[in-house]
Amino acid sequence: MLIRRPDNIDPSEITDQSVYRQRRNFITGAAALGAAALLPNNAGAATKLPNLKKSAYKVDEPLTPYNDVTTYNNFYEFSTDKEGPAVLAKNFVTRPWDVMVDGLVHKPTTFGIEDLLKFSLEERVYRLRCVEGWSMVIPWVGFSLNEILKRVEPMGSAKFVEFTTLHDPNRMHGQRYPVLNWPYVEGLRLDEAQHPLTLIGLGLYGEVLPNQNGAPVRLVVPWKYGFKSAKSIVRIRLVEKMPVSSWMRASPSEYGFFSNVNPEVDHPRWSQARERRIGEFLKRKTLPFNGYGDQVASMYAGLDLKKFF
């Protein structure tokens, strides 16, 4: 089948000394972090995330302004309008928050949001390409999903990872309408989930994730269309069979499991060859794998990307 494990350990997966040192910094800052975690993030000014490690994972392109990143959102749990989530998610309460990691793992664990904030957080500047044909450059804060996967120890039988968004129509008004099959479900192949680029996002622009951007914890998979990066995650489950995502269920001919950014494979209703970077006037060419081909293309060697779109 489609299972392909990386055959060498990426140097970035080996914990280096600076990370150990970071842990010490982190212990001193832990009290502050813990306090930050308890604060509701809608209480006025956004909470700064301290002790961020600058990551080598960054693109050298101008950042999309904070205001655009936080007012132009696809977050159907709140609204199908782009401007809707910023308004309707304003009072969304994200504390307490637990993420259950279970399924085919040796050590199923429930991580509270305060546990997640204790991982070594780094700032990574990624491109984001929406399937609708626009893109942004966003400085995310978070850590590789693989850090969590290592802790829970996937069993040999685990082949895929399924992500589930909170389902609570009382708190997420958009879920009162059957626009999608709630709860929102997304999935990755295990090797994709373990890839160092795959990020657990807890913030952006150095601050706690704004509600409309998927607070308090989301996925960021920069080489796939934006909808693959599930928001407000409550469960991460390792499974044997390929999960059926909400978008696959909604329209299987338009949204495939992989949904890698690919200028060669058009959406049935519109072209994916170009994109409009928010803030720019002229469209730019869309890059294969959103420009991350060097890091990720090898995972798909031999796979017909037109068929497995």
Partner 1 sequence: MHLVPKAVLFLACLVPLGRLVWLAFSGGLGANPIEFVTRSTGTWTLALLLITLSITPLRRLTGRNTLISYRRMLGLFAFFYACLHFTTYIWLDQFFEWPAIVKDVIKRPFITVGFTAFVLLIPLAATSTYAMQRRLKRRWQQLHRLVYLIAICGVAHYWWLVKKDITEPAWYALALFLLLGYRLKLRLSATQAPRLNPK
**Contact residues for partner 1, defined by CB under 8 A:** 67-68, 71-72, 76, 80, 82-83, 132, 134, 177, 179-180, 250-251, 266, 269-271, 273-274, 276, 278-279, 281-283
In whole angstroms, the minimum distance from the beta carbon of 278 to partner 1 comes to 5
In whole angstroms, the minimum distance from the beta carbon of 137 to partner 1 comes to 13
Please, which residue, 100 or 273, has the CB nearer to partner 1?
Answer: 273
Please, which residue, 42 or 181, has the CB nearer to partner 1?
Answer: 181
Is residue 303 within 8 A of residue 189, CB to CB? The reply is no
In whole angstroms, the minimum distance from the beta carbon of 268 to partner 1 comes to 9
Please, which residue, 115 or 132, has the CB nearer to partner 1?
Answer: 132
What's the distance, CA 5 to chain centroid? Answer: 21
In whole angstroms, the minimum distance from the beta carbon of 282 to partner 1 comes to 6
Please, which residue, 38 or 250, has the CB nearer to partner 1?
Answer: 250
In whole angstroms, the minimum distance from the beta carbon of 85 to partner 1 comes to 12
Considering only CA atoms, which of 242, 225, 222 is closest in space to residue 309?
225
In whole angstroms, the minimum distance from the beta carbon of 244 to partner 1 comes to 16
Please, which residue, 4 or 276, has the CB nearer to partner 1?
Answer: 276
Please, which residue, 225 or 257, has the CB nearer to partner 1?
Answer: 225
